[in-house]
Chains A and B, each alone.
Chain A
């Protein structure tokens, strides 16, 4: 689904975004991106969305080479990628319903099917009773669920989440993660950049750890921290 080959992105003047980054994320995977702030997680997500251009290297998303993708085609790429952000990025002057509907309007979905799909997805995320509310009228957790609903309403093959639980309390965060897992079960590839140590440790999914733009760990069923042999021995004794 996503292939990075020797990708380097340096911001002006010489802040490292990603350096010689290579990885392969397969279809239907659930992947955590972990690492300190500034380690390159957001850069990676922005590169996948073609919000940024890499300085060198090759990126393939769903078989398409982003380097040769025309500007005009970028919106089409983004329609196949659902996005969830730490700050929700909801349109502040649209209701919950309209926020989700907007993602469908954008792809030219007929009005009738919009009227069917939006309530469906909102009930899936448990917000059937808030459809007429504006984002500022609901809680952070609820806003994030709207954001997830918007990301998934098109049933994209890929869903990216940048610190989806960063701004909400731990219990609500669990709900959001469960939602992402359910989405993953429908076959959608899910990539979650996160700081949430407990969450990563509990879920034991594939973990990619970044440090200063480099991939330092790629573990099949990893935890948040790299467990060194010494630590393991200490744990045993």
Chain B
């Protein structure tokens, strides 16, 4: 393969048809930017949702009068539940220390005894399981229930349910949006490429007449599509990153803290993007351009 010749053909034709090339670059830019924005938003929402879910705690308060045996049974029970991710024992002293830190020294000074119960703070693996796990402690003898109630086990029951519903809905919505925009990007790009090749079908016809093989004709077009896609997608990736960065800065300066926007992790490996979200986007754009050229050429290359 004569890479030099093909590259010079590709660049030459982009220079000559720069209006078309610009149109293609802008198309790729817009569609990848939108796709990227959707993906980044989804990632950030997921991140936010996860951090919200992680804050869903079950607090199990222990009776002051519980025997050591009862306490040991409770701890064993916690250890035996597979849905529990982690737990922490908060002793009466620790509880008081926290209380002091939160409400100040003065209130605590006047207390003759420590009225705060010891407790376990339990985190479950999946926020959807909070309810079921919490129920298992309702009737434990070590739990500090008022008679006839389960108020020794505290968790944000309704809040959790509503929140989970919202997060799941948003998640599904984002998946649909991703699909729609990915499809739109593919269609837009392939249409643009097809238009630019249609404008040059005579050229292709002449190449065939002088005996160029299909690949000989194809390579410059494929390279051109690749370069076009790459430029558009790289600019789009930069743009998405910039927007995200600006948004993160703005959120940080305002006091909305429940959404933690990730800024730098997009360039390299993170979460569901083994090669980083933005590089993936760039490669995707380039591949789409190359593939688009190839598909669009097909009808002109039938011998």
A binds B: yes
* Residues of B close to A102: CB separation below 8 A: 207, 210
Cβ B203 vs Cβ A76 within 8 A: no
Bound-state Cα–Cα, A99 to B206, Å: 10
- A50 & B303 in contact (Cβ 8 Å cutoff): yes
Q: How far, in whole Å, are A141 and B202 apart by their CA atoms in the complex?
A: 21
Asked if A83 and B209 make an inter-chain contact with CB atoms under 8 angstroms apart, the answer reads yes
A78–B206 CB distance below 8 A: no
Q: In the complex, what distance in Å separates the CA atom of A108 from the CA atom of B212?
A: 10
Nearest 10 pairs of A and B residues by beta carbon: A79-B211, A78-B211, A106-B212, A75-B213, A74-B303, A103-B210, A75-B211, A93-B16, A71-B303, A89-B206
- In Å, the complex CA distance between A108 and B13 comes to 21
Alpha-carbon separation in the docked complex, A191 to B216 (Å):
28
- Expressed in whole angstroms, the Cα–Cα distance for A78 and B16 within the complex equals 28
List which B1-21 residues lie within 8 A (CB) of chain A: 2, 5, 12-13, 16
| B208 CB-CB contact with A under 8 Å | yes
Known contacts A91-B203, A105-B5; decide if A78 and B210 are in contact (CB<8 Å).
yes
Bound complex: CA A91 to CA B12 (Å): 13
* Given pairs A75-B214, A75-B216, A106-B207, 12 additional interface contacts (CB within 8 A): A49-B209, A75-B211, A78-B211, A79-B211, A83-B209, A83-B210, A89-B205, A91-B206, A93-B13, A93-B16, A102-B210, A103-B211
Q: Which residues of chain A are within 8 angstroms of B12 by Cβ–Cβ distance?
A: 93
Known: A71-B303, A105-B5. A89 touches B211 (CB 8 A): no
Count residues of B near A (Cβ-Cβ below 8 Å).
19
Q: Are A89 and B209 in touch, CB under 8 angstroms?
A: yes
> Bound state CA distance, A90 and B213, in angstroms?
18
B211 touches A107 (CB 8 A): yes
Contacts of B216 in A (CB 8 A): 75, 106
B interface residues (Cβ-Cβ under 8 A, vs A): 2, 5, 12-13, 16, 202-203, 205-214, 216, 303
By CB atoms of chain B within 10 A, which of A71, A75, A93, A106 has the most?
A: A75
A172, chain B: closest CB distance, angstroms:
22
A72-100 toward B: CB 8 Å interface, digit per residue (1/0)? 10111111110100000111110000000
Q: Give bound CA distance, A35 to B13, whole Å.
A: 40
How far apart sit A71 and B210, CA to CA, in the bound complex (Å)? Answer: 15
B5 with A90: CB separation less than 8 A: no
Given that A71-B303, A74-B303, A93-B13 are known contacts, is A105 also in contact with B2, CB under 8 Å in the complex? yes
Q: Name the CB-closest residue of A to B203.
A: A91
Tell me, yes or no, whether A41 is within 8 Å of chain B by CB: no
Q: Which residues does chain A contribute within 8 Å of B209, judged by CB atoms? A: 49, 78, 83, 89
Q: In angstroms, how far is the closest chain B Cβ from the Cβ of A63? A: 18
* Closest chain B residue to A79, Cβ basis: B211
| Distance to closest chain A CB from B279 (angstroms) | 34
10 A-B pairs whose Cβ atoms sit less than 8 Å apart in the complex: A49-B209, A72-B213, A75-B208, A75-B213, A78-B211, A79-B211, A83-B209, A83-B210, A106-B216, A107-B211
